[in-house]
Amino acid sequence: MEGTKINIILVALALAFDAAGVTMAIGCGTKTNLKEKLEIIFSFGFFQFAFALFGGIIGNYIDANFFRISNYFSGTIIIFLGFILLREGYKNGEECIYRKLNFWTLIVLGISVSIDALGAGFSLLFKLNYLLILKDSFIIGLIAALMTFAAFKIINYIKCIALVEKYADYLGGIILILIGINILFI
């Protein structure tokens, strides 16, 4: 059980690196006030939570009613998500993003940095009861919100943002790949 909690925290950190990279790109390209920063932090944290929760519930339902989800399937999904993050780091060419931050932009950005949480929730949380799925999804969302907050704090001190974004995606991808390999061989 303890190893599972470590996996959840590591996956949450890996997923949050993408949100932190986008936050840094927004922070250096868009003049944001405190209200906008809080909205972005909430959006990124909420969508990470919601997608992980939704993925976990879907995975649990499929595992209980249609077919057993194996560690091979689960590990493969996590490895696939890791390669997606590596690809994002490789093709990332933007330094700063200027965004007009309105309600729909916050929704689209929140979804775009959180869609991989759906696969992570599906492949990691499916064996848990609904209360534990909710709790672990909350952890994923909370870590995303905290990483987004931290990204806003450190953006003032980092000038080479493209390098930071790229390596954040690389680090997140490598973490997911290692966790996926671990799941495959448990």
- Each of the 186 residues of the chain gets a pLDDT tens digit; together they read 444 677 788 889 888 887 887 887 777 766 788 998 999 999 999 999 999 999 999 988 888 888 777 667 777 777 777 777 777 766 655 555 556 778 888 888 888 888 888 888 888 888 888 999 999 999 999 999 999 999 888 887 775 555 566 566 677 777 777 777 877 776
Q: Most distant CA pair in the chain: distance in Å?
A: 51
Neighbour count for residue 3 (Cβ, 10 Å): 9
CA separation, residue 33 to residues 14, 27, 40 (Å): 27, 10, 11
- Note whether 15 and 116 are within 8 A (CB): yes
CA atoms within 13 Å, Cβ hemisphere of 102: 2
- Note whether 124 and 184 are within 8 A (CB): no
Neighbour count for residue 146 (Cβ, 10 Å): 16
Helices (H), the chain: 2-29, 34-65, 71-91, 103-125, 130-154, 161-184
Task: Using a cut of 0.75, tell me whether the model's pTM lies above it.
Answer: yes
DSSP 94: -
